[in-house]
A and B are shown apart, each in its own frame.
Chain A
Amino acid sequence: MLKVTNLSKSFRSGDTTVKAVDDVTFSLETGSFVSLVGPSGSGKSTLLAILGALEKPSGGSVEVDGQDISELGDSGLTKYRAKNVGFVFQNYNLIPNLSAVENVMLPMEFAGLPSKSRLARAQELLDSVGITDDKQLRKPSRLSGGEQQRVAIARALANNPKIILADEPTGNLDSQTGKMVFRLLQDLAKKQNTTVIVATHDLEIAGKTNAKLSLSDGKLKRSK
C-alpha cells in the first residue's frame, strides 16, 4: 500500500519560495492503476520524483508497505529505488550503446541480482512486452519508438518493483502505439500486482485508469 500524508516540496527561486507540491495526501492500494493529471508546472513530475525516491520531500511522509521512504538517506534511497521502483520516461531514456536486453539487465545488476539469472529474466520480460528475440539484441537506435518504450517498461519491471512511475509514457508515440503501451501498463498492474502511476496530459487515457489524481499548483484537487 502507498500512503502519502501531508506531502510538500518547496524550491527556492530567487527570493521567492515555490511550493511545487503542497500538502498532498492520498493513499493507493497495491496493484492500483492510477493517472496523475494536471497542467504543466502543476507539480506532477515533482510528486513522481518524490514517490520514486529521487527527491526528498520538504515535509510530510511517503509510506510504501509501511516503510517511510522520506526518512531514508541518499544511500538508502538508492537501494530503495533499485529494488522497489520502476521508471518509464517520455523519452524512453534507454542507454544508447547497450542492446535492448542489456538495458533490461542493468537494474538487475544494480539490485545485486546474480549475473547468471539476469539474462534469462531480461529475455522473459522482453518476450512479455512483445520484443522478439532478434530485436532483443538490437541497440535502441534500431528500434521504433513503441519498441523502445516497451523495452523501457521491461526495464522498469526488471526487479519486480512495488511501484512503477511513468511520466508521459505515450507522449512521444502515435495514438495507436500509445494505446498499446497504455494497455501494457494496465495489464502489468493487474497481472503483477504492481502499483502503476501514470502522469499524463491525455484525458482519454486518464479516464481509463482505476483512479485519477488531479494536481493544480501543487495541490491535489480531486481524485476519483
Chain B
Amino acid sequence: MSAFSRGVRNAFRNKVRTFSVVLILGLSIGLALAMLLAHQAVTQKIDTVKSSVGNTITVSPAGFRGFSGGGNPLTQSDIDKIENTPHVVAISETLTDRLTSDQTNLQSSITAGSLGQRFSVSGGGGSASFGGEAPTDFTPPVMVIGTNDPTNLSSAGGGTFKLTNGQVFSPTSKDNVAIIGSALASKNNLSVGSTFTAYNTTIKVVGIFDGGNTFADAQLIMPLATVQTLSGQAGDITSAVVTVDSVDNLDSTTTAIKNTLGTAADVTNDQTRTQDTIDSLQNIQSISLYSLIGAVIAGSVIIFLTMLMIVRERRTEIGVTKAIGASNFKVMWQFMVEAMTLTLLAAVAGIIIGVVAADPITKTLVNNASTTSSTVSTGGGMFTQRFSGGGIAVGGGPSTSGAGPTFVARGRGFGAVRSNITNIHAAVGWSILVYGLAAALLIALIGSAIASWSIAKVRPAEVMRAS
C-alpha cells in the first residue's frame, strides 16, 4: 500500500467527519461555482449590451419631451458646432411636425379613441386642463418627419422602418415628395405616384414603408428642407442623431457636444441611457466576484482547519510513522492526498450544487437588480417606457408641434435592452467544470500545505515520550 492509497483511505476513516466536511466544503465550492457562472453570464451580458449600443449620440432641444416639454428648436448654428466637434462623422437631422386636418387632406390612420380624446385637450395645446371636457369630433393629426437621412429611416423615424414600395428621396432634396407609412397609405388609398395635400401644397408619394407598429405606420417622412420651408420653420431642427467614428469616443464626444451647446440642448447617447441597467449588472458582477473570492477563501479555511485538526489528532501516529522510517515528504504527501480526496468529493457535490443553483441564483440577482433599477430610474428608462406608447397620446393634440418619434424608438429599443438583460442564462461548460476541479485541487493543496508543514515539526522522540 502506497502513501497515496493510505491518504485516500484515511479520507474515509471517520465517516461522520468526512460527510460533514464534504457537505460544508461542497456548499462552499457550489457557491463559488454558482458565483463564477453568474459572474461569467453577467459579464457576457454586459458585453452584449455594450456591443449592441450604437456609436450614435442624440441631440434634442433642451426640455423637448413631446407634449410634456417645450424649449426652442436647434438651429443651423448648433448643427455647425456639432459638425466641427472631433470624431463626429455624420449628422442625421430631423424636424418633426404635425399636420392637422386644416393643413392636409390626409386622414390619420390612428383612431382617436378615449386616450386621443382626452389628450386632445391636455396635450393638444388646448386650454383645457388634463381630464377636461374633450371634443367629440377630434381627429388625430398626421405626424410628419423631415429628414436629411432618408436612407436610414430608422434614425429618421425610429422603430424598424422598412421600405416596402417605391424609393427614398435624396438627402438634399427640396422636392415636394414623401414616403408614407403603410397604414396611412391604406387609409387614404395612396400608392407610389399618388399625391396628397399638405401645407396647402401638393405632395407626391415616392415610397411606402412599414414602420413596425401602428403609430410609426401612421407617419409621413419628407425631405428636411421641404418640411422646414413648408412649415415655416426654416433652419429648425428637433432632433439630430450624431454618428461618432468609434464607440470608444462616444462618451468624450457626448461631453464635448454638451460643452459646446451648453444648456440649449439635451445630449444623450445609448451608453448613457443603458448605463443604469448596466450599473445594476455591474453590481451583480461585483457581488458575484466578491462572493466567489469569499467562497474560495472559506473553502480553503475549511480544508485548512480540517487538516490541522486531523494532523493534531494523529500526532502520535505521525510520530510512529516517522520513527519507523517515513520521511517528512512521504507523511506530508499522504495528508495532502487525504485533503485532495476530501476536496474532490466536495467538488463533485459542489459542482452538482453549483450547476443546479447557478441559473436560479443568477436570474434572481438580475431580476431583483433590474426591478430596483426600473424603480429608481427616471429620465431614461421610465419616461421612455411609458411615453413610447405615449405616441398614441401624442397623437391627440390638434395644434401642438413636436411629438418626437425618436422617443418611440428609444422607448422600444431601451425596453428591449431591459427585457434582453433579464433574459440571462448561466451556462455550464466543460471548461468551467475543469477550472472548478482545478480550483478545488488548488484549494486542497493550499489548505493542506500549511497543515502538512506542521507535520515536519513533529519530532518522533517527543511523541514516543508522550505516549
Q: A: which residues have CB within 8 A of B?
A: 45-46, 49, 52, 54-55, 75, 78-79, 81-83, 86-87, 89-91, 93, 95-98, 102, 105-107, 109-111, 115, 155, 159, 167
Contacts and interface: CB of A to CB of B under 8 A. Distances in A.
How many B residues touch the partner, as a band? 20 to 34
Interface stretch (B170-178, B268-276, B317-325): B317-325
Contact of B464 (A78, A97, A155, A167): A167
Given A93-B316, A98-B1, A155 B324 contact: yes
Given A54-B459, A93-B317, 8 more contacts: A46-B465, A49-B464, A52-B323, A78-B325, A81-B323, A81-B325, A87-B323, A109-B2
Given A87-B323, A109-B1, A97 B10 contact: yes
Contacts of B330: 110
B327 A78 contact: yes
Contacts of B1: 98, 102, 105-106, 109
Contact of A107 (B9, B316, B324): B324
B467 A89 contact: yes
B321 A55 contact: no
A50 to B, nearest CB: 9
B460 A93 contact: no
Contact of A87 (B2, B13, B324): B324
B13 A97 contact: yes
Nearest to B9: A97
A45 B323 contact: no
B461 interface: yes
A109 B325 CA distance: 9
Contact of A93 (B9, B325, B467): B467
A106 B467 contact: no
B324 A106 contact: yes
Contacts of A78: 322, 325-327
A42 to B, nearest CB: 13
4 nearest CB pairs, A to B: A82-B325, A110-B325, A54-B461, A49-B461
A95 to B, nearest CB: 6
B324 A45 contact: no
A98 B467 CA distance: 20
Contacts of B465: 45-46, 49
Contacts of B317: 93, 95-96
A108 B409 CA distance: 81
A75 B320 contact: no
A111 B317 CA distance: 18
A78 B322 CA distance: 8
Given A95-B317, A97-B9, A107 B461 contact: no
B324 A81 contact: yes
B55 to A, nearest CB: 68
B320 A93 contact: yes
B320 A54 contact: no
Which of A89, A110, A155 has the most CB atoms of chain B within a 10 A radius of its CB?
A110
Interface in B424-467: 459-461, 464-465, 467
A81 B171 CA distance: 97
Given A95-B317, A97-B13, A82 B467 contact: no
Contacts of B320: 87, 89, 93, 95
27 contacts: A45-B464, A45-B465, A49-B464, A54-B323, A55-B461, A78-B322, A78-B327, A79-B325, A82-B325, A83-B325, A86-B324, A87-B324, A87-B464, A89-B464, A91-B467, A93-B317, A93-B320, A93-B467, A95-B321, A96-B317, A98-B6, A105-B1, A106-B1, A107-B324, A109-B3, A111-B325, A159-B325
A66 B203 CA distance: 121
Contacts of A110: 324-327, 330
Interface string B308-338: 0000000011001111111100100000000
Contacts of A91: 467
Contacts of B327: 75, 78, 110
Contacts of B10: 97
Contacts of B323: 52, 54, 81, 87
A120 to B, nearest CB: 15
Nearest to A90: B467
Contacts of B9: 97
Contacts of A115: 2
A107 B322 CA distance: 10
Contacts of A54: 323, 459-461, 464
Contacts of B13: 97
Interface in B381-396: none
A102 B98 CA distance: 96
A98 B317 CA distance: 12
